[in-house]
Amino acid sequence: MSFIIAIDGPAAAGKGTLAKRVAAHYAYAYLDTGSLYRAVGVAVTAQGLPASDEPAAVRAAQSLDATKIAAKAIRTAEAGEAASVVAVMPAVRAAILQFQRDFATNPPNGAKGAVLDGRDIGTVVCPEADVKIFVTASAEIRANRRFLELKTSGSAISEAQVLEDTQERDRRDAERALSPMRPAEDAHLLDTSNLSIEAAFGEAVRIIDKSMR
């Protein structure tokens, strides 16, 4: 059986960086589930359609090829917003859900475990995960992290706008009727507001190693 590690949390809390480090540490397969929704959102808007066009979003989700996701295209602020819009659509979530579960239970390349990061991995996608970690940080700190990332990529968006977008995404993700973002009851909370990535990684490994005993 695959050892499954679910890492959830809001945008820019550091869960993606942490999940990659954890996967590399244990030689497990890694899946950024948020990239799947970003790819769907980008596929829709690239057609000149609004991300809210549900039929187009469903078609994009059903034909999604995770190996062909363009990393640069899905890391823009617009892609993040589009992802949050399509992620509330039941049919889009259903189209992606089975892919995520198959990845977790049957990791590629013979890996003995899988690390998935997202917003509902521990509550919906893999409620049976062996370890669940909910990574969080204050909205202000997360907005600053995202602003610096966008600035490096050449975006002209202001930090105030990034904070506003972050708070709106948090509200939408937490209040959506289907699979709202929330910690699983048995999740370990990891606040990275005042932690370096090294310190956060060390704490995550401590949690995971303890669960493996």
Domain boundaries, the chain: 3-212
Contact 121, 8 (CB under 8 A): yes
Q: Give the per-residue pLDDT at 88.
A: 87
Q: Give the per-residue pLDDT at 192.
A: 94
Task: Write the CB contacts of 185 (distance below 8 Å, at least 6 apart in sequence).
Answer: none
Q: Give the per-residue pLDDT at 42.
A: 95
Q: Architecture of domain 3-212 in CATH?
A: 3-Layer(aba) Sandwich (3.40)
HSE-CB at 45 with a 13 A cutoff on CA atoms is 20
Count CB neighbours of 103 within 10 A.
Answer: 21
pLDDT along the chain (213 residues), means of 10: 95 92 97 91 96 97 82 87 91 92 92 94 96 96 92 89 93 83 94 94 97 88
**Which 3 state secondary structure label does DSSP give 61?**
helix
Task: Write the CB contacts of 37 (distance below 8 Å, at least 6 apart in sequence).
Answer: 83, 84, 86, 87, 92, 96
pTM of the model: 0.82
Place of tokens 């950024």: 32
